[in-house]
Amino acid sequence: MRRMPAEYEAHDGTILIWPVRPGSWTYGGKEAQATFTELARVIAQSETLYMCAYGDHLENVRETFKDDPNIKVLDIETNDSWARDIGPTYVDEDGVIKGTNWKFNAWGGDYDGLYLNYEEDDAFANKFCEVTGYDTVDEHDFVLEGGSIHTDGDGTLIVTETCLLSQGRNPHMTREQIEERLKRTLGVEKIIWLPYGINGDETNEHVDNICCFVKPGEVVMSWTDDVNDIQHEMCEANMRVFEQVRDAKGRKIKVHKMPLPAVPVVITEHDAAGYVYEEGEDTREVGEKLAASYANFYITNKHVIVPQFGDPNDKVACDILAKLFPDREVYPIMARSIIVGGGNIHCITQQIPKGV
């Protein structure tokens, strides 16, 4: 019998991938690497942190973390650094933790993918499981990213229609067939389909940017009261779903509204000058609004790590999460260097749950 544990359950570890891709990380990744380093050290306070790197970067990464016994540097090649999306999705199968290997196609493949060369990213889940000794669950005929699903660990999964029904994922499958595959593979009983994620999220609106469980029967959902913002209508549509649905155990879902940043996070001239793109890669322009969200936080055994943007709502987000996680310490971390890469704190982390 399988079960996908919730992120707030006990971890054995967390996966990160050293950021170097010049089309994602400005100035050769230098700005993002400082944030990844801080993040790795915080996570390693309460669990093993696996930092994956390769090639010319490997020795530098080993030197950076040589003083921390809880950080293990692994030699695994990738195309980019989105551990949540390319890493194995872990399930507990009769007390044994296994990693699910989905197909990764850069968020849309030939239809609307973000870069052309993603072979190493697609191979990462299997490689990581081989190196670390986890058995795999082979689902490689099914396109899925880890950031597109979120569970309460108690039989319920949340997804977005915009992502899972995208023509760039599994266009040959119906919604019902997709739902059945997820139920069988992850051991869930109920799937809640939200209509939307965050407007402008280039992952076709992953659920981890808009909504996540904080405990069974309770979620945090990104929210704006600005009726002139297209996101307001999208949030209202999601709320209507929660008002009508029950979870796998028959509970009505309690929604905690999480404000979006008060000031839009956009690409600056400094940011734009720092990218180097390869052929066929999605590009960014000065003034482009990024899908910044506080719902994209990460839970460790000790902390709730909350993205910050130098925004008036930074502290509001931390205060909300401090009340929802009284047994954990809120750790705010500046996330601008990550959001300019197209993601956030949750997008670059993948948890490994603790087995029996």
Q: Which residues is 190 bridged to in the sheet?
A: 156
Contact present, 298 and 349 (Cβ < 8 Å): yes
Please provide the DSSP assignment of 177-201 as one string: HHHHHHHHHHT-SEEEEES---TT-
Burial class (CB in 10 A: 0-12, 13-18, 19+), 356: exposed
Sign of CA dihedral 108, 110, 116, 121: positive
Cα 317 → chain centroid? 18
Contact present, 258 and 346 (Cβ < 8 Å): no
Look at residues 42, 47, 39 and name the one whose alpha carbon lies nearest to residue 17: 39
Q: Which two tokens stand for residue 275?
A: 């990218």
Q: Which two tokens stand for residue 153?
A: 């660990």
Q: Is 347 noted as a catalytic residue in this protein?
A: yes
Q: Pick the catalytic residue: 163, 211, 212, 347?
A: 347
Contact present, 170 and 143 (Cβ < 8 Å): yes
Cα 17 → chain centroid? 13
**Residues with active-site annotation:** 347
